Amino acid sequence: MTSQDTPTTPWLSIILAAGLGTRMKSALPKAAHAIAGRPMLAHVMATSAEAKADSMAVVIGAEMNVLCDITQEANPNAKCFVQNERLGTAHAVLAAKDAIQGAEGHILVLYGDTPLVRTETITRLLAALDGGAAVAVLGFEATDPTGYGRLLRDENGALLAIREENDANEQEKAVRLCNSGVMAFRAETMLKLLERIGNDNAKGEYYLTDVVAIAREQGLRVVVETCDEDEVLGVNDRSQLAEVEAIIQKRLRAAAMKNGTTLIAPETVTFSYDTRLAPDVIVEPNVVFAPGVTVEAGARIHAFSYLEKSHVHAGALIGPFARLRPGADIGEGAKVGNFVEVKKATVEAGAKLNHFTYIGDARVGAKTNIGAGTIVCNYDGFKKHFTDIGAGAFIGSNSALVAPVKIGDGAVVGSGSVITRNVAPDELAIERSEQLHVPGWAARNRKKHGK
């Protein structure tokens, strides 16, 4: 198998996510914090799935039920294991002993707070095992190696050991080839290696990294695969969370442009992990794509718009300063303009919602025009109600449509109307008080006030 092939040997992904993340200063477990709209743990699970993992085991700490919920949502077949005491990485892996004993092929250890590892990197690690190694370690050349375990090699480049910084001498600390923590094992030898790990070190913990020296003592082959430092950046505090977010956003922007999307100011656009943009979409500056957004070919998203769980069809125009909330479905060639909010509504082909409008729990028919300041009154304080606006209708500015109500095809609603009853097709509906004129009133009022 080459490094670019899909793995053919069965393999188990063990994801360590028991860390409290005290430096995050959060009630959430560290691995539950999101990047690009998805928890870090779910990112790691998704990468494992993309690399064709046959099974997954997630190791969490006590009282971390939220991580089990994330695990089940990401993969209902994945299993959670609890590490009740935090006694090191090898101890954490052994919390999933039942999964290890039942595994065939290979086992890969990943981390729930290291979400940027690429699928192709996983593939290369597993390929090294197929090539005869018993253990494959993922390393990187660190710009500043402080705090990392060092990968120590002999004059021929063979890996001798991984030395944690607290246990390293000055010469070893000068080494820049560092351990990412990600390691792959042959399933048939993994438990035997793990059970020989002791805790005779500065912290009194069971280090997974000790497995390298143990494997070599047994005459087993240990290899190193390398990747870019950014790929194995872990998250321990909010600053690192922001740094990881910046990296994944850069990846997502690059992928979008490679696929044919124009980003006028790429660094200002925020994507989610599942944003789908077709070729020839144009995105202006300062647009946010929350999870669940699809935009079809030829659509344009104007500046300062926010989209979430929405579908924008071909050739539609969104914004500037538009907000599409969950359930918004904007038809081909439709326009959702300045300061318009759409929620759980279908806006059919060619319809126009140009200015200062709210449409929720509704249908707007094809080629209908909604005047500025129009709102759909969909909530009565207890329940949401539906508004149906037919094709080719014209709703005058500053109108309020009180749901449930139906506006027929081709109907016209006069400006400033509050519509509480259905309007038949091609009818004109006007609801407003009669305009009152009082001659001379303004002059008399000024005189009264000495003006």
Question: Whole-angstrom distance between the N-terminal and C-terminal Cα of the chain?
Answer: 92
Distance (Å, whole) CA 251 – CA 230: 11
Residue holding tokens 């926010």? 306
Q: Are 8 and 1 in contact (CB under 8 A)?
A: yes
Question: Which of the following is catalytic: 43, 355, 385, 449?
Answer: 355
Any catalytic annotation for residue 311?
no
Nearest residue to 96 via CA among 79, 113, 117? 79
| Spatial separation of the C-alpha atoms in residues 25 and 218, rounded to whole Å | 43
| Residues with catalytic function | 355
